[in-house]
Amino acid sequence: MFITNVFYYLVHTGELRSIIQWKIWHTPVHERNEEEETPSLKKCFYFLDMTSRSFSTVIQELHPELLVPIALFYLVLRGLDTVEDDMTIALEEKDPILRNFHSILEKQGWSYDGCAITEKDRELLVQFGNVTEEFTKLKPAYKTIIKDICEKMGNGMADFCKKSDNNVNIVNTVEDYDLYCHYVAGLVGNGLTRMFVESKLANEALASRPQLQESMGLFLQKTNIIRDVKEDLDDKRRFWPTEIWSKYVTNFEDLFKPENKTAALDCNSEMVLNSLRHADQCLFYLAGIKEQSVFNFAAIPQCMAIATLDRVFRNPDIFKKNVKITKGEACKVMMESTQNLKLVCDTFLRYTRSIHSKNTARDPNFLKISIACGKIEQFIESIFPTQNPAAVLAPGDSSKLTGRAADDAARAARDAQQAKEAKEDTFYLILTVFGVVIFISAIMVFVAYMVGARFDLAFQELRKGNFMKIKSPEQLEALKKGEL
Amino acid sequence: MGVSILVTGGTGFLGSLIVTALHEKHPDWHITILDLQPPPSQQTPNLNINYVEGDVTKAQDILQTVQSIAPTVIVHTAGLVPPLRNRFSRTLEARVLDINVNGTANMLAAARQTRSVTAFVWTGSCTAVIDNFRHSYRNIDESYPTSAQDSLIYGESKAKAEKLVLAANDFDDDGDADVGGEQLATCALRLSVLFGPGDYQLIPSVHACIAKFETPFVIGNGTNLWDVSYAPNMADAHVLAVENLLSPTKTAAGEAIFIQNNEPIPFRDFCLEVWKNFGHYPPFEVRLPEGLAWLAGWVAELGTWAVGTPYTLSTGSVMDACAVRYASGEKARRLLGYEPRVGIEEGIRLSCAEYAQRLKANELEKQNSKEKEQLRRDRTQEDLSWRLWRFLE
């Protein structure tokens, strides 16, 4: 494994460079103050490290105001998710836990050891007292938000569990799919937004845009659902909506058979298309965040998602194994998503174009994907225009513009002037080079002529089509005759 | 009370769609079609749709015709789009300017001298702004200047005519309504490239590439976005503009508005989708970098100059294929409430189905009459020469 990695990065030096740069140059915006933390809070951060692969670091770099609330929010939802995911718990036992999880938060010392030993986050629930203890210390506003989301999510999950117990396909229609993703991810977007706004670290207008909050969650969740299709199948779970896959295969398992590769890829592209439609709204949302650590926290997962979406798009490997972006690519994306919205947009555009380049006419979703990609590009262009009206005006025409546009015009004119000068310089440079070449050639020709070169004969031969050296004595003879 | 509305060019591809859209939404409105040719006879006769013959370039005749009809609204959609082989040259300059600019001036003059006319909706074109190869046009809005200089002849004619149309507007929303009882409200709709059922330019010429084995060639990087629109949506926009100029607020008066399907895609993808509808997929792909293609176009032009036959590939068509040209639909949404009713995917499907039928009908015709066969060949020849890259209305 190590050896293959070494070889991989020897070939992909650009990715290696990203890893090194991330390690050296990334400095957290804020850092935890571990000395002031209580033992139970330390334990909470320990669980955060244990349970989340990607979120732990970004959460720990959050603004102090949001650090603990969001870390606890994450652990609470992780606890809920662990109960929901565990297929060994009977429905009669699971249902009340899910539906009452929000009131459990206020119960000191609550713990649960009913999860299967194989469940990787089992320990979090066994020692859940640490979470509930810290939860009581939160500001009431954050408590209300976390409890509210917890209640909605628990009920939603319980509804879906009930459905799945009666029916294997828990997600039938695309509407179901959106609803399921709403419960497990859209609500997280809503809760986080309310916390951002509560802390005044984001524009309060975000609170009144439920569609944008929803997209933030759905874009991540849907992308993960596409990526994890094989893993979920192995765990006997299925989140791809029947309405979509049944267009391509009769049984869901057929997607994984090599003989159905084309159908499976077309199905894959419809799933990607469904996810891609949220991308522009995610960018819109990110524009509303004011504080750097919150921006990083929100932007990193989104950029990872678009990179993952590109990786999985029309990739047959997703039906065989778990496909992931490489560590090098992840570092590059993290670096780009921890600075500003412009760089995030550039990242989105890069991956959008990459998705577009893999689009193929034989795919039934071909034009829809093309339109979705075009829409993302147009949206990015609308928030970061790469040109302005002044740039297309003829010089001296700027009288038609006023205010900022006039400034732009002046700048454009100045740029144009500089470009023109640069062009002239290049022109003169080329002229000089060619002048010298021609001059030297002329001298050489003149010298050759003075010492007796017969250019007339050379021309004659060229006109006869003799471009090569004369080789045979006969030809030489013929030439001599001609000369005489 | 029914509104009387005059549609110039109402027999043409877009004009007939506008007449249909107006009639569908307002069956009580009285529509008069003014065109050089009468509508096809098989069209069902309707009491509320009349036809008069007329030529917009003849100022005196037009004035008399308009005065005798005395419409409330004029939709001026008659115009000339140079065929592709003339798109990049100035060979048709006089004719294009005469029809597009003088024709518009004549219609405006007739409108002002006819007291009944209060609204004037003009079919403009995005080329008034973007028919200039020196620039890219990404998500442009109406603050971009029109490009009368350095433009191709079509764009130049549309820019000049648009200026006349907007200058003729004398509706002012803070002015007294009773000062001029016969105020004229005008607006210009800048349409993008369009296609649709009955399309004799874009779909046929893209389809023709299949027979010519041209489908594998991709010019440029194939990522340049471009607006293309389903023609019946454009007709809807005309109805909305007429309604707007008849409303008390007339928010669109004196405005130029970009109208398109709001689904910018690369030109290459549009072609692939058309070919797909005819069951054709390029067997392989050859990517020609823009510079190389431009050089090939230049050589082709040189050949044309030497041999004298009209060229198909040219530097102009290469730059057309590589240009980035799409506009924002924000103003149309805000002022007119315009949203395209039919998406381009569905539009392409409908248009290709209709064109396939037309081809079939042509095939039958060919079997029936040998004389007609010759005629058809001429027509196809013309279509062929239309060639790939880009078309207007």
Cβ distance of B140 and A371 shorter than 8 Å: no
More confidently predicted of B259 and B286: B259
Cβ distance of A378 and B326 shorter than 8 Å: yes
Alpha carbons B167 and B147: distance in angstroms, whole number = 17
Cβ distance of B269 and A375 shorter than 8 Å: no
Alpha carbons B372 and A94: distance in angstroms, whole number = 78
Task: Select the residue from A365, A370, A377, A381 to test the B interface by mutation, using most B Cβ atoms within 10 A.
Answer: A370
For the stretch A348-399, pLDDT in tens is: 999 999 999 999 999 999 999 999 999 999 999 999 998 888 777 655 454 4
Within 10 angstroms of residue B178's Cβ, the number of other Cβ atoms is: 6
Using pLDDT thresholds of 50, 70 and 90, give the confidence band for residue A169: low
Alpha carbons A264 and A257: distance in angstroms, whole number = 9
Mean pLDDT computed over every residue of chain B:
86
Cβ distance of B139 and A389 shorter than 8 Å: no
More confidently predicted of B370 and A221: A221
Within 10 angstroms of residue A477's Cβ, the number of other Cβ atoms is: 10
pLDDT at A257 over 70: yes
Cβ distance of A361 and B281 shorter than 8 Å: yes
pLDDT at B68 over 70: yes
Using pLDDT thresholds of 50, 70 and 90, give the confidence band for residue A255: very high
B344 reaches A (C-beta below 8 A): yes
Using pLDDT thresholds of 50, 70 and 90, give the confidence band for residue A420: confident
For residue B282, the SS3 value is coil
| 3-state DSSP of A109-131 | CCCCCCCCCCCCCHHHHHCCHHH
For the stretch A304-320, pLDDT in tens is: 999 999 999 999 999 99
Alpha carbons B166 and A310: distance in angstroms, whole number = 47
Alpha carbons A296 and A196: distance in angstroms, whole number = 13
Using pLDDT thresholds of 50, 70 and 90, give the confidence band for residue A87: confident
Q: List the single residue in B with minimal CA-CA distance to A397.
A: B145
pLDDT at B291 over 90: no
For the stretch B146-191, pLDDT in tens is: 876 778 888 999 999 999 999 999 887 655 544 455 689 999 999 9
**pLDDT at A166 (0 to 100):** 61
Alpha carbons A213 and A206: distance in angstroms, whole number = 8
Chain B positions touching A386 (Cβ under 8 A) are 138
Lowest-confidence pick of A130-134, A364-368, B330-334? A130-134
Chain B positions touching A266 (Cβ under 8 A) are none
Burial of A348 from C-beta contacts in 10 A (0-12 / 13-18 / 19+): buried
The alpha-carbon gap from B147 to the nearest alpha carbon of chain A, in Å, equals: 8
Helices and strands, counts by H and E, chain B: 15, 15
Share of chain A above pLDDT 70, in %: 91
pLDDT at A464 over 80: no
B220: left (phi over 0), alpha (psi -120 to 50) or beta: left
Cβ distance of B343 and A371 shorter than 8 Å: yes
Q: For chains A and B, what is the number of CB pairs under 8 angstroms? A: 74
Share of chain B above pLDDT 70, in %: 87
Q: What is the DSSP string of A423-435?
A: HHHHHHHHHHHHH
Its pTM stands at 0.82
Q: Which of A318, A174, A301, A162 is nearest to A255 (CA)?
A: A318
Chain B positions touching A359 (Cβ under 8 A) are 269
Chain B positions touching A369 (Cβ under 8 A) are none
| DSSP code for B328 | -
Task: Select the residue from A381, A404, A415, A423 to test the B interface by mutation, using most B Cβ atoms within 10 A.
Answer: A381
Alpha carbons A452 and A315: distance in angstroms, whole number = 72
**pLDDT at B200 (0 to 100):** 85
Using pLDDT thresholds of 50, 70 and 90, give the confidence band for residue A35: confident
The angle that helices A91-104 and A64-85 make with each other, rounded to 10 degrees, is: 170
**pLDDT at A408 (0 to 100):** 62
Q: For B319-353, b where at least 16 C-beta lie within 10 A, e where not — what string?
A: bbbbbbbbbbbebbeebbebebebbbbebbbbbbe
Mean pLDDT computed over every residue of chain A:
88
Chain B positions touching A382 (Cβ under 8 A) are 139, 328
- Alpha helices by DSSP H, chain B: 13-25, 59-69, 84-87, 93-97, 103-113, 127-130, 153-167, 202-211, 231-246, 267-277, 290-307, 315-322, 330-331, 344-368, 370-386
Which position among B51, B137, B154, B230 bears the catalytic label? B154
Alpha carbons B106 and A76: distance in angstroms, whole number = 74
Using pLDDT thresholds of 50, 70 and 90, give the confidence band for residue A29: confident
Given a contact cutoff of 8 angstroms between Cβ atoms, the answer to whether A371 and B345 are in contact is yes
**pLDDT at B370 (0 to 100):** 67
Q: Residues in chain A, how many?
A: 484
